Amino acid sequence: MTMDSAAFPSADEQQRILQEASTAIKRNAFHMRKAIEEDNMRDALKHAAAMLGELRTSQLQPQKYYELYMLAFDQLSYLESFFADERGKGRAYSELYELVQHAGNVLPRLYLMVAVGCLYIKSHEASPRDVLKDLVEMCKGVQHPTRGLFLRAYLCQRAKGLLPDTGSEFEGPASGSIHDALDFLMTNFIEMNKLWVRLQHQGSARDKEKRERERQQLQDLVGKNLTYLSQLDGLSFELYRDQVLPRVLDQITSCKDDLAQLYLMQALIQGFPDRFHLGTLESLLGVLPQLQPGVKVHSVMAALMDRLARYASSAASSAAGGGDPRVLEELAAIDAFSKFKAAIAQIIASQPNLPAADAVEMYVALLSYAGSVHPGELAYVDEVLAAAHAALGDRGPGLGGDARAERQLVALLSVPLAKYGVDVALALKEYPPLTRLLRYPTHKELAVKIVQRVLEAPPPAAAGAAPAAPAGSSAAPPVSGGCVISDVDKVKMLFRFIAPLVADPDVPGEAGGAADLDDEDLDEEQVLVARLLHHLRSDDPDTHFTILSVAHDQLLAGGPRRLRTTLPSLVFCGLALHRRLVAARAAAAAGGGGSAAAPAAAATSKKAEAKKETAAAAAAAKKKEEAAESKEGGEESKEDDKAESKEEEKKEESKEEKKEEPEPAKPAVPLTPPKLTSEQLLQFLLAAIGPLYGGPAGQPVTALRLLLAAGYVASEEARLELLAYTFFEEAISLYDEALPDQRTRATGLFDIIGGLQRCRVFGPEHRDALTSAATAACMRLVARREQCRALCAAAWLWWQSEADKAAAAEGGDKGLQPPVRDGAKVLATLQRAAKVAGQGKAQWGATGRVRDATYIGAYAEVIDAMLRMWDAEVPGIDASKVQALLDTVQADLAAGVAPDAHSARRWASTLAFIASQAAAGATPAVKDRYGKLKAPPAPAAA
């Protein structure tokens, strides 16, 4: 068994040895100090040698040996002071230097030689070059890893400040130069590194991990040599490039030790100046593939790139402030990015078993470097992403099941999003191929982050003024938060970015698809997509329509379950686009004979008027205040104040008028109407609503309301009768075929009647068909009361509000039919409702059940509808018809009919309304009208 591989004693045994050695050091130190006080050189050296002899042990692990070393190190200061005093008494250091060499053992002898030799150099009695060379060579006599490492650490520490550095007091022809200082530190570094590497072979194999931790704690002892090298004033770039770096790199590659190579590369990168690294970048990168496979090369690369990125940033800022521009020129000349990229590729090629996570980490560092050194240049980002895909693509989705590598890849893909924002990152063509290396669930998590960044990003106004809308277009209303993506190609790229949110996995059966999620979880995901659609828009209607078409195609590919949530949002985006399309066409039509600057001039004029009013109000207030203060004065004083106030008010108005004079109107800008037509957009919306009719994506209630909303837009905004008819026809068919229960059917019917009542585009033929279908649907409801309510609502289909005469005079009614106001059909419908209520009464008479007495509520519905029609002055509705219904209900109640609670409350509410109108109507005519009715008093509230 060799010395290096000898096993250490047990921990308890080592503690005992340490305690005994510490006691011996303290005892000998005491006798040494006593001999020093007695000025006894012989005894002082004897006890010092005995004290240092305790460091000869090989039974202690490095950590415990360090404790012993520090005890002896502290005591050596007393001895050094004694040697300095001896020189003051006339004894030369050369004599002392020879004297200490008579120590019996090598290790104590060398410690004493270092102590005296450093004093010898400091006194200028000897050449630093000769003494340092002698000491560094003599230390080779100790080859035990632990003992030799601490001895050379002591030599390095004591020699600091005594080196023949350029400009130092120890430099000279006979003393040495910077080259001698370099030789000393480099020799000591090489020997210490060899000893440090040999430490791994001490002890048994089972203690290897513990031994590596202890070695890691001792690494700074070796690194001090490099630190002192970097601090030499005479170290020029040429000396570093030609002498220091080659020897350091040779030592790094030849030691074949993972821990030593990693630490020394990091110490080299962090210890020496940035400009040295720029000039020797190829040498640094060239050594990386030669490192051991176990070395974390990615951390070395990251440290180097981070160091140079900070240097580039500081150089750029100093150049902007008048610094040296040559630094920036040098940065551009070396093309560090390409060298880093090539080095990463070479490392991956040279280490086939390199973990994917480590490879990705290097590309993360390279991407961060590109963002710092070349901000805003997306070509570099694309290069990194392409290189990463080329290096990792053969590992397949999930990178071979390496979860850590996947997390690192997500970090890599997140860098452009955080650095540039989603809108800019969408220009990266190499981004989507790299996302396909993620497993479907991981890619979905990244997609959610991307969508959230779009939704939560600061609005464009926060960064600067928004670009002007194209001529002939109507600007899209601003979003309250998030960014807006208005380029078609970027929208296509965005859907590639977030593919897992809008489509199932490409591999059948892969986890995470829609089939693996319940409706609640799937809807939560799709709500994000639905919100995202409102951020995909353009001020140009043609471009916006193309964006909606792209989004529609992408959503359809995602399957029916996703469409339930996303299609309604898409349709509302289309309806909002139609309003802007109509406004854009109106602006284009008006632009032919007007000026584009007219609205701005009008706004300026209004602003000037408002300021004039404000100034007048301020002058009036000031006038009142002055009048109050001068109330005690005479009439003459008051008149003077009034005149003075009026004159001041005129001056203020004159100033405001001059200040707010509008600028001359700019020449009119020709407005070009969009190519998109209302027909195209509405046809697109009709097709988009279709999947919601039924099947797995079925949302018939939502589809019905979307059809009615689109039908209203087709009627009142687009003035397209056939398209509007199609929308209402589809809505009525959907009502007949797909609505499931009576309550939903009743609500849907009211929606149809309400939408149809507001539409004026239909000619008599189409309108009769739709109103007949709606009226017929009223009678297909099961409950008598619901039939009455629906018929009362349908009566309004024949009584629309009067048209705005001012709007009609300006052409606002172009393409619309006159309002339908047919009193006879209104009356016939209400009478039909009353007949249905009478049928309910007959049913109650046949059954006698309380629940069938709801016909009282049905009569109340008819009476309320008739009263509203009476207030609207519909021909044929008079007091006699209302009174007949009141008498019918009152007679039944008097006969003992007991209605249900809801019908009773409704009846009481109707009577209370009649009484209030008769007592305190809005006009005398209303009071007179309701006063003719003979209604019983409303029953007291229960």
User: Any idea where the domains of the chain sit in the sequence?
Assistant: 9-126, 133-272, 285-297+311-441
Q: What is the pLDDT of residues 799-813, one digit of tens each?
A: 998 877 666 666 667
The CA distance from 306 to 361, in Å, is 13
Phi, psi of 87 (to 5 degrees): -65, -35
pLDDT of residue 262: 94
Tokens at residue 925, please?
A: 């005519």
Nearest to 591 by CA among 768, 470, 420: 470
Taking a C-beta distance cutoff of 8 angstroms, is the pair 798, 869 a contact? no
Helices 764-779 and 784-794: angle between axes, nearest 10 degrees: 160
Taking a C-beta distance cutoff of 8 angstroms, is the pair 676, 581 a contact? yes
The CA distance from 687 to 683, in Å, is 6
pLDDT of residue 900: 84
pLDDT of residue 852: 66
pLDDT of residue 104: 82
Nearest to 559 by CA among 691, 651, 366, 659: 691
Low-confidence ranges of the chain (pLDDT < 50): 1-5, 461-472, 593-670, 942
Taking a C-beta distance cutoff of 8 angstroms, is the pair 870, 921 a contact? no
CA distances from residue 127 to 99, 118, 234, 797 in whole angstroms, order as listed: 19, 11, 19, 116
Nearest to 366 by CA among 333, 397, 391: 391
Nearest to 383 by CA among 331, 344, 439: 344
Q: How long is the chain?
A: 942
Residue position matching structure tokens 């709606």: 774
What are the beta bridge partners of residue 808?
Answer: none
pLDDT of residue 322: 52
CA distances from residue 835 to 75, 760, 796, 830, 840 in whole angstroms, order as listed: 119, 30, 18, 9, 9
Taking a C-beta distance cutoff of 8 angstroms, is the pair 294, 258 a contact? yes
Taking a C-beta distance cutoff of 8 angstroms, is the pair 761, 721 a contact? yes
Note the pTM of the prediction, 2 decimals. 0.77
String of DSSP letters for 652-686: HHHHHHHHTPPPPPPPPPPPPPPS--HHHHHHHHH
Tokens at residue 727, please?
A: 């929308």
904 alpha-carbon distance from chain centroid? 58
Burial class (CB in 10 A: 0-12, 13-18, 19+), 411: middle
Tokens at residue 458, please?
A: 């600061």
The CA distance from 732 to 771, in Å, is 11
933 alpha-carbon distance from chain centroid? 68
The CA distance from 230 to 725, in Å, is 86
Taking a C-beta distance cutoff of 8 angstroms, is the pair 724, 741 a contact? no
Q: Per-residue b/e over 502-514, b at no fewer than 16 CB within 10 Å?
A: bbbbeeeeeebbb
The CA distance from 851 to 480, in Å, is 51
pLDDT of residue 205: 64
Taking a C-beta distance cutoff of 8 angstroms, is the pair 380, 341 a contact? no
Taking a C-beta distance cutoff of 8 angstroms, is the pair 217, 236 a contact? no
200 alpha-carbon distance from chain centroid? 47
Tell me, what DSSP letter sits at residue 469? Answer: P
String of DSSP letters for 102-149: G-SSHHHHHHHHHHHHHHHHHTTSS-HHHHHHHHHHHGGG---HHHHH
